[in-house]
Structure 1
Amino acid sequence: MSCYIIAEIGVNHSGSVEVAKEMIDAAKKSGADAVKFQTFTAEKLVSSNTPKVKYQESTTDKDESHYQMIKSLEFSYEDHIPVFEYCKESNIDFISTPYDIESASFLVSIGVEIFKTASADIVDLSLHKFIAQNAKIAIVSTGMATLGEIEPVVEIYRQHDCKLTLLHCVSNYPCATESLNLNVITTLKSAFLCNVGFSDHAVGALPAVASVALGASVIEKHFTLDKTMVGPDHKASSDPAEFTELVKAIRETEIALGSPIKSIQQEEMQMRKVSRKSLFLTKDVKYGEVIMSDMLTLKRPGTGIYEAELSIIIGSISTMDLFAGDMLKIGDFRLA
């Protein structure tokens, strides 16, 4: 199956339904399978003394508190409805990350079927239980988490028979190449025996492409219309041109990965016939003469008898007069 590619709009809409719709159009045009939003109320999510993290300090107003930043990016429940409907009209999946059970319950009420949880909420087991009971598909980011913290979350989804994908993630924006640890994708697959993807906070397309080669079935990457827009996540997001190239690179990688079955490709057939070696005679051989090893050599093309049959041919008897330089063929000899 094709890798499922999510354009993480997150809060890059800055609270505007019209901007959100414009981003949906751009994501669809760029080749995304889904767009993802965030559903929260600032009052429920952030206490007044919560500090900003380093990347937020560098991309937002320094005089603005963490709470004020989150409040300015809030999408009301009412705003979700036209955006959700617009996704259906545009034939692109709508996903959201609820940050509390009330927000998750709202998403269920409007018909959302695919839920994504943030890495920070790996420890919110009540939220995971609610999603497992109500969602058809859950996508769980695992940034900042140990395998021991991931295990009980996986068990919750298994108990409720909810289809689960874990996303390998490093929770920094952008993430340094040396911190990506993409081999964790195979670790998660073997440890939890479920679908695994990659939430990509790195610069460029290469990490996502490598993760697909490692077996990632879902790729999520932050998406913006313009990196210079106001907000904490735009700078570390992909613009439409970059996202288009990302999707193209992933699709080409899937084609290149092909099948695990080792088979002769059609475009190899001419090369196989021309460049392989067949058995040729180095001297004349008379009718009835025994064929010996010093009468044979290997030369191109490969349309004759391969060396693997040499043990059968040596000691056989010529069925006709043969000549030096001839390619040996079936029918030129018989067993003694």
Structure 2
Amino acid sequence: MNKTIKIKDRLIGEGQPTYIIAEMSANHAGDFNRAIEIIHAAKESGADCIKIQTYTPDTMTIDCDKEYFRITKGTWKGENLYSLYKKAYTPWEWQARLKEEADKIGIDFLSTPFDKTAVDFLEELGIDFYKIASFEVVDIPLIKYVASKGKPIIMSTGMATLGEIEEAVNAVKSQGNEKLCLLKCSSAYPAVPEDMNLKTIKYLEEVFGVIVGLSDHSLGSVGAVTAVVLGAKVVEKHFCISREIENPDSSFSMEPHEFKKMVEDIRAVERAIGKVSFKVSQREEISRVFRRSIFIVKDIKKGEVFSEENIRVIRPGYGLAPKYYEDILGKTASKDIERGTPLDWSMVI
């Protein structure tokens, strides 16, 4: 499969800067103006893309209070699925305007569809690429339908076994779609470091031959920055204006100043990773003079023998390289040499 994918005029993948996605999810807390504010804040914080989710409570589940539909553990303990999705969803009548605002300020717009009606809606919206959520990685009919649109797909793999990931990848490929990125993900909210297993990022790249990245639900930016070191080309992180604005996603979302710092750290890490090189940089060149070299440490007369008493390997590096020290011992001086003079071959007979 491809080692780069193209979104609009931008390449994502090998040799390209990390593509950073700010996930709005439920952080608008039901307020359209706040959703607009989040888009602007994400752009200002350095995000390349703002992501929403396209579903309704009825496209996700049914309104039923049987025990199967109750959440008994974790961040949303005590919630009923239908009521949770009712709180969290982004109204579909907002989404064209949200995309228009994102386009206007120059940030990519992405959504996660959760059923075929959402895909059809996003197609009418003119979306450029799709996200598949971790919970939907086993929904092979949905994945095939999304892949059939021929657009790039970013797919999270939280909770998935290797076999399930393979089935999902094959579902994309079965539609003749090679434009895929897989994201390592720990689908806990929040995720804890010991469950993240970031080494899997490289493994996914090697096994499936695709672009890889991280969908990060952990607190802080350590996971995201480490993922980039390990080869992640896409990083997705939940984004909010303030965690004090309560909603289903606020507790594990980043505020703008935190997100901005994460982006800065990722960009610094990219510069630090660089490429395989043994070329001496201009800044290193300044330091080279403080290497060790051979110096005269005691006044020497012409014809005098070089010995451990009158020459030494010391800093700075203006004399002959230390590797010649043993060769010079026992040889004689070609002229008088003052203490503190760097040794060179013209002084040696």
Contact 2:292 2:321 in 1 (8 A): yes
What RMSD in Å do the two structures reach over aligned CA positions? 2.7
Distance 1:246 1:300 in 2: 40
The residue that corresponds to 2:11 in the other structure is none
Higher relative contact order (CA 8 A, sep 6+): 2
Contact 2:29 2:245 in 1 (8 A): no
Question: Cα distance, 1:167 vs. partner?
Answer: 1.0
Gaps of 5+ in 2: 1-15
TM-score, reference length from structure 2? 0.83
Question: Cα distance, 1:271 vs. partner?
Answer: 2.3
The residue that corresponds to 2:121 in the other structure is 106
Q: CA distance change for structure 1 residues 293 and 239 in 2, over 3 Å: closer, same or farther?
A: closer
| 1:121 and 2:136 matched | yes
The residue that corresponds to 2:207 in the other structure is 191
| 1:25 and 2:40 matched | yes
Alignment of 1:161-180 (within 5 A): 161-180=177-196
Distance 1:278 1:241 in 2: 49
Alignment of 1:243-282 (within 5 A): 243-274=259-290, 276-281=291-296
Contact 2:111 2:131 in 1 (8 A): yes
| Aligned with 1:80 (options 86, 91, 95) | 95
The residue that corresponds to 1:236 in the other structure is 252
Write out per-residue CA displacement over residues 129-168 of structure 1, whole angstroms, 9 at most, x where no aligned residue: 2222324321111110112211232234445243222111
Write out per-residue CA displacement over residues 179-209 of structure 1, whole angstroms, 9 at most, x where no aligned residue: 2222222222232232211111111122222
The aligned amino acid for 2:275 is S
Q: Secondary structure at the match of 1:221?
A: strand
Question: Cα distance, 1:315 vs. partner?
Answer: 8.0
Contact 1:10 1:38 in 2 (8 A): yes
Q: Secondary structure at the match of 1:235?
A: helix
Question: Cα distance, 1:116 vs. partner?
Answer: 1.0
| 1:150 and 2:150 matched | no
The residue that corresponds to 1:69 in the other structure is 84
Q: CA distance change for structure 1 residues 149 and 271 in 2, over 3 Å: closer, same or farther?
A: same
Distance 2:264 2:337 in 1: 56
Contact 1:108 1:135 in 2 (8 A): no
Q: Secondary structure at the match of 1:108?
A: helix
Contact 2:25 2:90 in 1 (8 A): no
Distance 1:216 1:300 in 2: 42
Distance 2:208 2:280 in 1: 35
The aligned amino acid for 2:223 is P
TM-score, reference length from structure 1? 0.86
The residue that corresponds to 2:240 in the other structure is 224
Contact 1:133 1:162 in 2 (8 A): no
| 1:54 and 2:37 matched | no
Distance 1:244 1:53 in 2: 35
For this pair of structures, how many residues does the alignment match? Answer: 327
Gaps of 5+ in 1: none
Question: Cα distance, 1:117 vs. partner?
Answer: 0.8
Q: CA distance change for structure 1 residues 280 and 240 in 2, over 3 Å: closer, same or farther?
A: closer
| Aligned with 1:8 (options 9, 20, 23) | 23
